[in-house]
């Protein structure tokens, strides 16, 4: 059995359509709609009927001709509108959307449904029927508000379906990456474009206990100012505070808009395991758009998905940083072990060589034999110092470094340091100066004498080793403060600051942060050139901190020398010969 179209019925419909389209006044039964018009595929009006035509000042008798000739009432984005028109004519599937139309300097927000006028079989569709309503309009810089209409169940179902698809699309996208920046930006872009928002932002707390959040990603309309990177005080934004406290979506109207439209904001917290890790804020001006309970639940579901993605991406980022740090530590330790093995083998080989010469009777006379023994002894002391450094680091790392504290006379410490280091400086033709504050009595610090001596010898050893010309200066001054420093439950009148300055090779600014890192050296080539394990500064810093002080390093750059300062608690305040500033007292030279 073959089914064919009734040609007579087709002719009747065609004649009726032609009779409607051929009306000179462009009138059309409204079918109960506020706005009804028909267009061809090129966007030319065939008929037009609108209850608000008087707003445009249109002549209802010749409305179609006027619209087609002037083309003043047209979509703002005409290209997109015509593309949609052609798609509907091709697919024969109706579509609903919101579109902005312009008329001279006025803008109209329209809610439209475009349906193809079904042609006879075998004939392509060429005409569409458009029905719609005015959502809002701006006339002469004043807004015309349209009363909100309660959406029908069908409209709510369609809207809910669209939102569910949007959430599913966002969820799929954020699961494809562990890059936080991509997750944030894809989310705001998807929400902003799909919902036609004025602005959509994602914020994240600067710190867990911080009262401010930072805008990490943003979608916004071109006519408004960007907020990307700015900080928002939660205390000044009640919606933000409520969303973080309740983990529930919050909808509020924002007063004080520059235009007279009511602005609405939806704020929802993203969370993972009931802990908030971000905020999503959506702004729009469509007062006819009222969110339902199901849509708020959907917003919470989307925020939970986003919060989980943020947590996973954050964890991945932390793990990646930890992996890189572990790899760097492993590399530094390998480099350190290579340097240490070299440093240990060098004195051992020297000791073995000198002792072998003596055992084999290679010394020409007792004086040369004593010289060999002295060299072997010197190398053994050097080896012992290296081993002590390694043992000290091991104790510090294990938290087993125990120090006994007692009053230490600063002049005795400086005297011992000078007897050790002055000969080394003079051997390299370097000047060596030590300075003490001018006081009428002794300066006494609370510290551990042996460890304090070790710190000073380490710092001076480095200063002399890396200085080729010029000299090294050691000075001390008193730092007296109103708020007395406290160490191990005991208050002290101030601190003694010791400064070791040299005119040596210096350190570039970008490498100074590596100086106090364990197993890290500023330049491996320097280590090979000058020797040493690179542990001296790290050990000195740990010891000084254990004795209640601080270590600081200063250098203006390579070739400009360097200065290291450290502080120790002052046991008792001495009587000064000449008083100066309460924070820094001038020094006088002790010896040259």
The pTM score is 0.45
State residue 408's pLDDT score: 92
Residue 311 has pLDDT above 50, yes or no: yes
E strands along 358-468, which residues?
406-409, 431-437, 444-447
For the record, the structure tokens of 206 come out as 């600067």
φ, ψ (nearest 5 deg) of residue 156: -65, -40
Query: Strand ranges (DSSP E) for 403-470?
Result: 406-409, 431-437, 444-447
More confident residue, 251 or 8: 251
Question: 319-324: long-range contacts (C-beta < 8 A, 24 or more apart)?
Answer: none
Q: How far apart are CA 116 and CA 126, in angstroms?
A: 8
More confident: 248 or 149: 248
**Residue 538: which pLDDT band, with cuts at 50, 70 and 90?**
confident
Closest CA relative to residue 515, chosen from 480, 466, 481, 567: 466
Helices 449-465 and 536-546 cross at an angle (nearest 10°) of 150
Q: What percent of the chain has pLDDT over 90?
A: 21
Nearest-5° Cα angle at 183, 178 to 186: 145
Instruction: State the Cα–Cα distance between residues 92 and 87, nearest whole angstrom.
Output: 8
**Strand partners for 265:** 252, 283
Mean pLDDT, residues 211-236 taken together: 89
**Counting beta carbons within 10 angstroms of the beta carbon of residue 373, is it exposed (0 to 12), middle (13 to 18) or buried (19 or more)?**
middle
Residue 390 clears pLDDT 90, i.e. is over it: no
Q: 585 versus 486: which is more confidently predicted?
A: 486
Pairing assessment for the beta strands 263-272 and 275-284 based on DSSP bridges = antiparallel
Q: Among the listed ranges 11-20, 249-258, 440-449, 563-572, which one has the minimum average pLDDT value?
A: 11-20
pLDDT in tens, 34-54: 889 899 988 888 888 887 666
Q: Quick one: pLDDT band at residue 55, thresholds 50, 70, 90?
A: low
């Amino acid at each position: 059995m073959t089914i064919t179209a009734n040609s007579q019925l087709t002719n009747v419909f065609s004649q009726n359509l032609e009779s409607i389209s051929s009306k000179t006044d462009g009138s059309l039964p409204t079918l109960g709609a506020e706005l009804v018009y028909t267009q061809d595929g090129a966007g030319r009006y065939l008929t037009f009927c609108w209850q608000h035509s008087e707003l445009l000042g249109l002549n209802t008798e010749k409305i179609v001709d006027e619209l087609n000739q002037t083309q003043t009432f047209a979509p703002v984005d005409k290209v997109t509108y015509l593309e949609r028109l052609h798609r509907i004519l091709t697919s024969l599937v109706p579509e609903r959307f919101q579109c902005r139309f312009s008329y001279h300097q006025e803008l109209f927000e329209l809610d439209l449904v475009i349906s193809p006028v079904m042609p006879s079989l075998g004939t392509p569709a060429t005409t569409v029927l458009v029905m719609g309503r005015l959502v809002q309009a701006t006339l002469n810089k004043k807004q015309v508000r349209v009363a909100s209409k309660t959406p029908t169940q069908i409209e709510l179902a369609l809207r809910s379906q669209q939102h569910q698809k949007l959430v599913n699309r966002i969820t799929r996208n954020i699961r494809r990456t562990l890059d936080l920046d991509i997750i944030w930006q894809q989310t705001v872009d998807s929400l902003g474009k799909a919902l036609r928002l004025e602005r959509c932002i994602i914020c994240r707390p600067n710190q867990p206990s911080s009262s401010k959040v930072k805008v990490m990603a943003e979608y916004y309309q071109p006519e408004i100012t960007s907020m990307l990177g700015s900080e928002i005080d939660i205390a000044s934004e009640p919606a933000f505070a409520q969303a973080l406290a309740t983990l529930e979506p919050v909808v509020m109207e924002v007063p004080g808009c520059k235009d007279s439209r009511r602005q609405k904001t939806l704020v929802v917290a993203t969370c993972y395991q009931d802990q908030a890790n971000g905020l999503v804020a959506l702004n729009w001006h469509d007062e006819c758009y009222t969110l339902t309970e199901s849509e708020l639940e959907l917003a919470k579901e989307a925020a939970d998905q986003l919060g989980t993605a943020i947590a996973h991406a954050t964890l991945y980022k932390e793990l990646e940083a930890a992996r890189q740090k572990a790899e760097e530590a492993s590399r530094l330790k390998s480099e350190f072990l290579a340097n240490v093995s070299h440093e240990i083998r060098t004195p051992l080989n020297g000791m073995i060589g000198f002792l072998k010469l003596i055992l084999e009777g290679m010394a020409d006379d007792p004086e040369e034999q004593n010289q060999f023994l002295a060299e072997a002894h010197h190398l053994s002391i050097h080896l012992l110092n290296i081993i002590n450094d390694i043992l000290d680091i091991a104790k510090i790392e294990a938290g087993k470094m125990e120090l006994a504290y007692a009053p230490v006379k600063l002049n005795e410490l400086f005297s011992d340091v000078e007897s050790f280091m002055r000969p080394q400086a003079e051997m390299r033709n370097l000047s060596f100066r030590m300075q003490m504050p001018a006081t009428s009595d002794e300066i006494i610090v609370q510290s551990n004498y042996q460890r304090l001596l070790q710190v000073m010898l380490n710092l001076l050893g480095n200063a002399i080793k890396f200085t080729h010309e010029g000299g090294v200066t050691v000075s001390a001054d008193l730092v007296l403060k109103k708020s007395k420093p406290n160490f191990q439950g005991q208050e002290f009148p101030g601190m003694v600051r010791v400064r070791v300055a040299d005119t040596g090779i210096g350190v570039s600014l970008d490498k100074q942060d590596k100086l106090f890192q364990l197993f890290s050296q500023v330049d491996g080539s320097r280590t090979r050139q000058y020797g040493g394990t690179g542990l001296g500064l790290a050990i000195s810093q740990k010891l000084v901190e254990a004795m209640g002080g601080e270590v600081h390093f200063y250098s203006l750059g390579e070739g400009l020398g360097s200065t290291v300062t450290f502080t120790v608690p002052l046991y008792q305040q001495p009587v000064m010969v000449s008083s100066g500033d309460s924070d820094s007292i001038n020094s006088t030279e002790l010896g040259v």
